[in-house]
Amino acid sequence: MQLFDWIVLIVTLLFIVGYGSWKTKGSKNVEDFILGNNETPWYTVGLSVMATQASAITFLSTPGQAYHDGMGFVQFYFGLPIAMVVICLTFIPLYHKNKVFTAYEFLEKRFDLKTRSLAAILFLVQRGLGTGLTIYAPAIILSALLGWNLTGMNIIIGVLVIIYTFSGGTKAVNVTQKQQMFVIMSGMFITFFLILHYLPNDMTFTSALHIAGANDKMNIVDFSFNPEEKYTFWSGITGGFFLALAYFGTDQSQVGRYLSGKSIRESQMGLIMNGLLKVPMQFFILLTGVMVFVFFQFNPVPLNFNPNNKIVIEKSAFKEEYHALEKKLSTLSEDKKVINLLYIDQLNQDYDNPILRKELVTISNKEKDLRDRAKEIILKADSNSETNDKDYVFFHFILHYLPKGLIGLLLAVILSAAMSSTASGLNALASTTAIDIYKRNLKTEKSEKHYLNATKFFTLFWGIVAILFACVGTLFENLIQLVNIIGSIFYGTVLGIFLVGFYLHRVKAKAMFCSAVISQTTIFIIYYFLIYSQEKLGYLWLNFIGAMLTIILSLLMQVLFFKEKKIIEEL
């Protein structure tokens, strides 16, 4: 980090926070604070929806995911455009018709207070955890790579977000997310083209794709029916569809973005914009990670990208053993570079040499073996070490290979993404707590000013909770997976409640509440025994199972309760 990098970083962040606070200060009532007075145009709705989902985890974890596992993760988003159409046709008109502040307010009008409260509490649990992760993800990477204090980083990110979210509510979130998306996508495009520029002079983009393909990084679509595979076409279309339907249709952090739209049409256009751009955006981010992989075929690469592990090794009795592996990797890297250059030369002559492709795969397997052995040594040195380094790959490239100024810009990208998703989360948590829990359960009527102050207080409260959770969090295998796993555990049941509410008008409150409780309990059991303990099922299927289970149980329960009622009446 040079002086110019610091200037770029600090000016960018201060501008976003200052502009958001200045532009949106002075909310007069709850409607202004939560719905932004319904003044948001469609393009701002679209950008805000995209920025809410595109957290720092997206820009840290996704390139690392592609570096290690290739482009297959894009299948996760295949169901999203279909979900956007369903939400536009069903969810948005009903929300606007009922003039709700939050998604869960609709459930009381359709069912009862218990069902509304259950859905709100499930949301608060999973979004409270998820918001803490949106702070923790960039903080742990930045602290490890830059030597910054982790707790300090969590507090800085959290406080910056609280300032303008507390000040302007939904309007502040929407306004700042436009600037944040501009910073994010500008930084990513610049980085992508710089990677291509850094590749050997005689290497074309097509040749780079061939090298990635030879190493199994370009397997975009998997049509297998294996339920143990995390990402397939079928899990993306089904589980991904239900996750997107639940996230964008029932999660207040997203619903709040388009409820602030000027009209039903403006909200719908914003979501369609997201549906059209989200898959290409994720494809591009994954492709950036694949290009980082190609770049490291010609440049030195560490045994483990997590710098904390290097520190652990240097202080241990296994230092020499680790250094021996580093020497082997260095020799292998030179061989890898030579083979790749020969392969490029053959490609430039329009000949895809199968012998060289096979040699590339062999070298790649040898490198993977060295990395696995390195992980074993790291664990022997410290059994508590996190050996998975996916979340550090992209940042390692940024710090070691980008020119002055761009490091500051990419840091601003990561922090902007963290702030945008965290702001949406805090705003949604505060709105849900104030409207669905606090206001609904008050026995006496209060003024608009009181509820406005209560919503601001809950913004501050959830901001502190998120910071505290970030401070005690631990790094999972891959942060983007952790966020999606947390969502998948809760989203299916909540989505099932809403789908029954929208489409199955004969199902009443008692049947709905009982089926939701049973469904959510079953999902916890399935997750523990089939995913956490044995990895027999991809977590995306939890969204589909939870939603279907809730719907089927609600129908069965309604029949049961109807028969009971009929028997009692006859008696």
Q: How do residues 464-478 score in pLDDT, each as one tens digit?
A: 988 888 777 555 545
Q: Which residue has the tokens 């020119």?
A: 403
- Cα–Cα separations (whole angstroms), residue 145 to 310, 315, 353, 357: 11, 18, 39, 34
What is the average pLDDT across 305-323? Answer: 88
Lookup: tokens for 16: 């976003």
Q: How far is CA 424 from the centre of its chain?
A: 13
Residue 261 backbone dihedrals phi, psi, to 5 degrees: -65, 155
The answer to whether the pTM exceeds 0.95 is no
Q: What is the pLDDT of residue 175?
A: 65
What CA dihedral angle connects 246, 251, 253 and 257, to 10 degrees?
70
Q: How do residues 236-279 score in pLDDT, each as one tens digit?
A: 888 788 878 888 888 888 888 788 888 899 989 989 998 888 88
Contact 322, 377 (CB under 8 A): yes
Q: How far apart are CA 104 and CA 118, in angstroms?
A: 9
Lookup: tokens for 158: 């959290």
Q: How far apart are CA 87 and CA 41, in angstroms?
A: 18
Q: How do residues 361-420 score in pLDDT, each as one tens digit?
A: 888 889 889 989 999 999 888 887 778 788 788 888 888 888 877 777 777 777 777 777
Q: How far apart are CA 412 and CA 6, in angstroms?
A: 10
Type of residue found at 303: L
In the chain, what is the greatest distance between 2 CA atoms, to the nearest angstrom?
89
Residue 40 backbone dihedrals phi, psi, to 5 degrees: -80, 125
Contact 165, 426 (CB under 8 A): yes
Q: How far apart are CA 482 and CA 246, in angstroms?
A: 17
Of 139-153, 471-485, 550-564, give the range with the top mean pLDDT: 550-564
User: What percent of the chain lies above the pLDDT cut of 90?
Assistant: 16
Helix (H, G, I), strand (E, B) or coil at 117: helix
Q: How do residues 195-218 score in pLDDT, each as one tens digit?
A: 998 888 778 888 888 888 888 888
pLDDT higher than 50, residue 174: yes
Q: How far apart are CA 381 and CA 377, in angstroms?
A: 6
Q: How far apart are CA 155 and CA 135, in angstroms?
A: 9
Least confident of 23-27, 346-350, 365-369: 23-27
pLDDT range class, residue 571, cuts 50, 70, 90: very low
Type of residue found at 484: N
Q: How far apart are CA 154 and CA 143, in angstroms?
A: 10
* Packing angle, helices 406-432 and 113-146, rounded to 10: 160
Q: What is the pLDDT of residue 345?
A: 85
DSSP 316: S
CA atoms within 13 A of residue 30's CA, in its CB half-sphere: 22
Q: How do residues 1-18 score in pLDDT, each as one tens digit?
A: 678 888 887 887 787 777
- Cα–Cα separations (whole angstroms), residue 414 to 41, 92, 166, 308, 480: 26, 31, 22, 20, 14
Contact 170, 35 (CB under 8 A): yes
Q: How far apart are CA 373 and CA 367, in angstroms?
A: 10
Q: How far is CA 559 from the centre of its chain?
A: 39
